[in-house]
Amino acid sequence: MAKSMYDYVREQWKKPDTSFKSPQQQRLIQWRQEKNFSRVEKPLRIDRARSLGYKAKQGYIVVRARVRRGSLRKHHIRSGRKPAAKGITKITAAKSTQRIAEERTSKKFPNMEVLNSYWVGEDGKHHYYEIILVDPFHPAIIKDAKINWICDPSNTRRVLRGKTSAGRKGRGLYHKGKGAEKVRPSIRAKAGRGK
């Protein structure tokens, strides 16, 4: 069977060229100089955006978000510890940087709902993600039977409740069966039971 255009785009993004003169490296240099949240005209990874629900129609926008890389920044303790017991290194956040990017973007665009997001690059200091946002009050979205579920009040601020793909992954909902008994409906809900 013949490959589609999306298949070729997907293959290129599996291992992007980051040599000095490559387009990806030039993009990263440009992105570093821009703001943390930049609205873009169209998605960079059209195959990934389409698979996550993006459509090139009114009511949809794409925002590129920048989040710092690395583990948590802890204060340096001056005295009273062995250096190994300071608790500075190897302490990471419970949320992924992708989830943090989605949440910060939703606060920047309060009238939009986050549909999903995907990785577009990283340099020495930052991760870059493109976040797909939907306007639940736009007539084109209300009329579209495939997306108008997002207009329901139960989906308000879904990103802050871990309902996106990155949020569900962080909550452990992609694991089923043995070893994942205490994941559903949430880890916090299960912690209080069985006392």
Instruction: Please list the helix, strand and coil fractions of the chain in percent, rounded to the nearest 5, in that order.
Output: 35, 15, 50
Query: pLDDT at position 193, please?
Result: 61
Query: pLDDT at position 194, please?
Result: 54
For the chain, the domains span: 5-157
Residues near 48 by beta carbon (within 8 Å), at least 6 away in sequence: 10, 13, 118
Bond from prior residue into 185 cis (ω within 30 degrees of 0) = yes
Q: What is the CATH number of domain 5-157?
A: 3.40.1120.10
Would you tell me how many other CB atoms lie within 10 Å of the CB of residue 101? 27
- pLDDT (tens place) for every residue of the chain, 195 residues total: 889 999 999 999 999 888 889 999 999 999 999 999 999 999 999 999 999 999 999 999 999 999 999 888 888 888 888 888 888 888 888 899 999 999 999 999 999 999 999 999 999 999 999 999 999 999 999 999 999 999 999 999 999 999 999 999 999 999 999 989 999 988 888 887 655
Measured CA to CA, the distance from residue 85 to residue 27 in angstroms comes to 41
Structure tokens at 38: 């930049």
Query: pLDDT at position 13, please?
Result: 92
The structure's pTM equals 0.89
Structure tokens at 175: 């694991």
Could you tell me the end-to-end alpha-carbon distance of the chain, in angstroms, rounded to an integer? 57
